[in-house]
């Protein structure tokens, strides 16, 4: 089948390459010529494990091409996946749908034959129906445009695996024909036994946002429990492990620490609360505000712990920050808790030296006032406090005895609760965590 993927960010680029991988002819469209050009050469514009190889293979096979031209898109395909971002509106909690509407206004009048437009971004419930009305208005006479919503659940860092072996596929459709088209697109995944849930468009939109809202709630829940653990001298890691064995609860998203970041969870729960309020259901979702506020409080708590370790002030203190990406496995620093904390420590007077194995370039662009070092050891030279903020495997493997000879003082905040405390304590470090009393 011939299809386009419009918007080639982390989501769209991976989706496009995966569609080509399962046999479709795909045209990726991006307004940014540099991005489209890079992708067309089979070069990934961001770090995502496994994506480079998949992209190169798909481009070489001729099944995946890229363009900046919406006229090319309209002429090429019968199915158009819209994967542009829906960020938070400046000065508001609601989602900014400008990108989606701009794509439709550009694409729809150019269509020359019937097609299916499939949205994949997280959108406020009700958006698909509004888009369908718009499509009927903007499509040329005689051209029938159907609209469906097929939310994406991929995680950055696991994007290829999550796309090719998803836990489930969810489609919100307005006709049996749209259902049939989407089933045939995903047939290779259905053949693997992937559950396929076909529903109305409002439910499909809600599945996406409620999944993210639930994950965010789980994280803030376990973080709140970690506060109680600290007060009573308990151990949050053991608590999470024990809870996780309960199949009704599960171990996922119960890792306590600095909290969630990235481009999705916080933005989505804010937009969801805003939409629920518009719909008169604000009271039902108001607890999500608490989930969000509590999550942000974790960042302040982490700064306070580090300041305490630094002797009550950051003035004339060297602080090493390990990790800048919003989580390991990605170079994405959007709403990164690590970078946010690093910036706060810097604002309070510390000399902050940051290391990240993948995200330095993006971090430097976002936060140029910090120093970036090519190795964890260099970042830690003469540090008064080390802050472990993104749990890359290489930090777990650090040798605390060796690192102890580099720093000025052996003091570390483990903002992700994954460093083996006994090794660090044995090497003479003072270790502070969020949720375990280890002094
Ligand atoms: C999230 C969802 O997991 C995806 O299903 C969804 O498709 C995506 O948002 C989206 O809407 O586009 P992602 O933002 O890539 O994916 O990241 P996650 O792996 O979910 O992690 C989110 C944040 O939660 C990270 O900052 C991570 O460090 C944090 N986290 C995760 C915790 O603090 N504790 C945990 O136990 C798990």
User: Which pLDDT tens digit goes with each residue over 378-390?
Assistant: 999 999 999 999 9
Q: How far is the CA of 155 from the centre of ligand 1 (A)?
A: 6
- What pLDDT score does 240 carry? 97
Which of 83, 229, 264, 380 is catalytic? The answer is 264
Dig out the tokens for 70 from the structure.
């919406």
**What pLDDT score does 439 carry?**
53
Q: Ligand 1 centroid vs 16 CA: distance in angstroms?
A: 21
pLDDT digits (tens, 9 = 90+) for 260-278: 999 999 999 999 999 999 9
242, pLDDT greater than 60? yes
Q: What is the predicted pLDDT for the residue at 435? A: 85
Question: Looking at ligand 1, which atom is closest to the CA of residue 258?
Answer: 33
Structural domains of the chain in order of their starting residue, each with its CATH number = 2-199 (3.40.50.720), 200-439 (3.40.50.720)
Q: Look at residues 143, 262, 149 and name the one whose alpha carbon lies nearest to residue 202.
A: 149
What pLDDT, on the 0 to 100 scale, is given for residue 411? 98
Q: What is the mean pLDDT of residues 208-219?
A: 97
Q: What are phi and psi of 251, to 5 degrees?
A: -85, -20
Q: What are phi and psi of 210, to 5 degrees?
A: -75, -30
- Please provide the DSSP assignment of 269-317 as one string: HHHHHHHHHHTT-HHHHTHHHHHHHHHHHHHHHHHHHHHHHTTS--TT-
**pLDDT tens for each residue of 122-148:** 999 999 999 999 999 999 999 999 999
Q: Which atom of ligand 1 is nearest to the CA of 254?
A: 36
Residue among 364, 297, 296, 292 nearest 325 (CA): 364
Residue among 163, 215, 301 whose CB has most ligand 1 atoms within 8 A, to mutate: 215
| Res. 436 pLDDT band, cuts 50 70 90 | confident
- pLDDT of res. 368: 97
Q: Which atom of ligand 1 is nearest to the CA of 328?
A: 28
- Give the DSSP per-residue string, 8-77: -SHHHHHHHHHHHHTT-EEEEE-S-HHHHHHHHTT--SS--TTHHHHHHHHHHHTSEEEES-HHHHHHH-
Give the containing element (helix H, strand E) for 132.
Answer: helix 127-138
User: What percent of the chain lies above the pLDDT cut of 90?
Assistant: 97
Report which ligand 1 atom has the smallest distance to the Cα of 263. 14
**Which residues line ligand 1 at a C-beta cut-off of 6 Å?**
122, 152-156, 212, 215, 219, 253-255, 257, 259-262, 264-265, 326-327
Whether 264 is a known active-site residue: answer yes
Task: Work out the mean pLDDT of the chain and round it to a whole number.
Answer: 96
Q: Pocket of ligand 1, candidates 9, 18, 154, 328: which has the most ligand atoms within 8 Å of its Cβ, to mutate? A: 154
Whether 118 has a pLDDT exceeding 90, the answer reads yes
Q: Which of 119, 219, 266, 291 to mutate to test the pocket of ligand 1 (most atoms within 8 A of CB)?
A: 219
Nearest CA to ligand 1 atom 30: 260
> What residue's CA is closest to ligand 1, atom 8?
155
Over residues 396-419, the pLDDT tens digits come to: 999 999 999 999 999 999 999 999
Mean pLDDT of 250-265: 97
**Better-scored residue on pLDDT, 411 or 90:** 411
Instruction: Name every residue whose Cβ is closer than 8 Å to that of residue 175 and which is 6 or more positions away in sequence.
Output: 146
The C-alpha torsion from 304 through 306 and 312 to 316, rounded to 10°, is -130
């Amino acid at each position: 089948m011939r299809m386009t993927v419009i918007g080639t960010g982390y989501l769209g680029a991976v989706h496009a390459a995966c569609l080509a991988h399962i046999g479709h002819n795909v045209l990726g469209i991006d307004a940014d010529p540099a991005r489209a050009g890079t992708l067309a050469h089979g070069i990934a514009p961001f770090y995502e494990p496994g994506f480079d190889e998949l992209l190169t293979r798909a481009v070489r096979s001729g099944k995946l091409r890229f363009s900046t031209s919406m006229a090319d898109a309209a002429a090429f395909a019968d199915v158009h996946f819209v994967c542009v971002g829906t960020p938070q509106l400046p000065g508001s909690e609601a989602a900014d749908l400008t990108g989606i509407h701009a794509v439709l206004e550009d694409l729809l009048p150019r269509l020359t034959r019937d097609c299916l437009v499939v949205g994949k971004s997280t959108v406020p419930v009700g958006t698909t129906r509004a888009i369908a009305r718009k499509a009927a208005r903007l499509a040329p006479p005689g051209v029938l445009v159907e609209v469906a919503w097929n939310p994406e659940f991929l995680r950055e860092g696991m994007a290829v695996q999550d796309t090719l072996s998803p836990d489930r596929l969810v489609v919100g459709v307005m006709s049996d024909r749209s259902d049939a088209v989407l089933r045939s697109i995903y047939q290779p995944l259905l053949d693997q036994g992937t559950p396929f849930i076909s529903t109305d468009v409002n439910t499909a939109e809600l599945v996406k946002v409620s999944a993210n809202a639930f994950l965010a709630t789980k994280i803030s829940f376990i973080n709140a429990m970690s506060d109680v653990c600290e007060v009573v001298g308990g151990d949050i890691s053991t608590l999470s492990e024990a809870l996780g064995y309960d199949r009704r609860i599960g171990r996922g998203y119960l890792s306590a620490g600095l909290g969630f970041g990235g481009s999705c969870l916080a933005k989505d729960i804010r937009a969801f609360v805003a939409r629920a309020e518009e719909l008169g259901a604000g009271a039902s979702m108001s607890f999500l505000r608490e989930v969000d506020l509590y999550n942000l409080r974790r960042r302040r708590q982490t700064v306070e712990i580090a300041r305490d370790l630094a002797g009550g002030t950051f003035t004339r203190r060297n602080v090493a920050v390990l990790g800048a990406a919003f989580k390991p496995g990605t170079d994405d620093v959007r709403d990164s808790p690590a970078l946010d904390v690093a910036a706060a420590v810097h604002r309070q007077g510390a000399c902050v030296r940051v290391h990240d194995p993948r995200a330095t370039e993006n971090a430097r662009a976002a936060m140029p006032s910090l120093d970036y070092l090519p190795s964890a050891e260099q970042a830690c030279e003469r540090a008064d406090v080390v802050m472990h903020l993104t749990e890359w495997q290489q930090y777990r493997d650090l040798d605390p005895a060796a690192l102890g000879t580099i720093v000025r003082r052996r003091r570390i905040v483990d903002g992700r609760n994954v460093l083996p405390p006994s090794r660090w304590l044995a090497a003479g470090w003072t270790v502070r965590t969020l949720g375990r009393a280890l002094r």
